Amino acid sequence: MTTTDPLAPFQWLNVSENEGGGPLGAIFSVAFFRGLDPAEVVRRFSRGEDSGQESDFGGLDERAHEFIEETDGGDGGGYVGVFQAGEWCVAIEPYGWMVTLHEVVTKLSRGCEVLAVTRHDYAAEHSFEYAIDGTIVTGYRLRHPFERYGSDPDRLNGFMRELGMGLDKPEDEAAWDAAWEDNYYTAVPRGFALAAKVTGVPFTPGMLDRPMLVGPIVER
């Protein structure tokens, strides 16, 4: 009898920087929007200033690199690329983390549904945010699934348990150590596996080959 590892399709998002970091590197965010088209998603990120220009991931990456050089990297990548995937839009934010900031995701989700995942190796704050119509429903730091918050922090517990996440807060030092060991290397693929369960859209390497609308991220 063979078993399928639910995290295997998302290990490409977890490559260490010492091993090349994968195509998105050690800092990036991916968000899933339901209820908006790609142009409107770009307008949300740009605060109405831009509806996006057609490009590919190479073009998005190049613009993000230029932005980082101009700003020394403290403001993320400065650009987002968006494309349609079934009922959802996928928004890729290279070198950035804006979409999982509470004050940003609540505004982006007004009148729609947003699920966002950030990998940030340097801050060690890999993040998951699920918001609907301006309210964070469930959020957690990817390495701390037992510390959930939001208006309904337990809404995704069934999916989280299916992915092997420990949802009970550790009670002693040994339990904390065990939880840290369990979550340290699996946090990012588990976060993206959870996103796929909620949205029905697995984020695959082939998605980087899709044409997309690229626009700026205007700080809020």
Per-residue confidence (pLDDT) for residue 1, from 0 to 100: 45
What are 11-29's pLDDT values in tens digits? 999 999 899 889 999 999 9
Q: Which residues pair with 121 in a beta bridge?
A: none
d(CA 26, CA 16) in angstroms, rounded, equals 7
Query: In which residue are the tokens 């142009």 written?
Result: 39
Domain boundaries, the chain: 24-216
Q: Using 50 as the pLDDT threshold, list the residues of the chain that sit under it.
A: 1-2
d(CA 178, CA 174) in angstroms, rounded, equals 6
Share of the chain above pLDDT 70, in %: 98
**Model pTM score:** 0.95
Q: How far apart are the first and last CA of the chain?
A: 52
List, as own/partner pairs, every contact residues 12-20 make where C-beta atoms lie below 8 angstroms and the sequence separation is at least 24, other chains included.
12/205, 13/119, 13/188, 13/189, 13/192, 13/203, 14/119, 14/185, 14/188, 14/189, 17/121
Per-residue confidence (pLDDT) for residue 119, from 0 to 100: 97
Strand ranges (E), 95-141: 113-120, 127-132, 135-141
Share of the chain above pLDDT 90, in %: 86
Average pLDDT, the chain: 95
Task: Give residues with Cβ within 8 angstroms of 69, minimum separation 6.
Answer: none
Task: Give residues with Cβ within 8 angstroms of 89, minimum separation 6.
Answer: 32, 33, 34, 36, 37, 38, 41, 82, 83
What are 21-69's pLDDT values in tens digits? 899 999 999 999 999 999 999 999 999 889 999 999 999 999 999 999 9
Residue 188 CB burial class (10 angstroms; 0-12, 13-18, ≥19): buried
CA of 187: how far to CAs of 64, 82, 117, 145, 159, in Å?
Answer: 25, 24, 11, 9, 14
Per-residue confidence (pLDDT) for residue 79, from 0 to 100: 98
The alpha helices in 34-186, defined as continuous H runs, are 38-45, 57-71, 102-108, 157-162, 173-184
Q: Which two tokens stand for residue 104?
A: 């940003």
State phi, psi for 94 to the nearest 5 degrees.
-65, 140
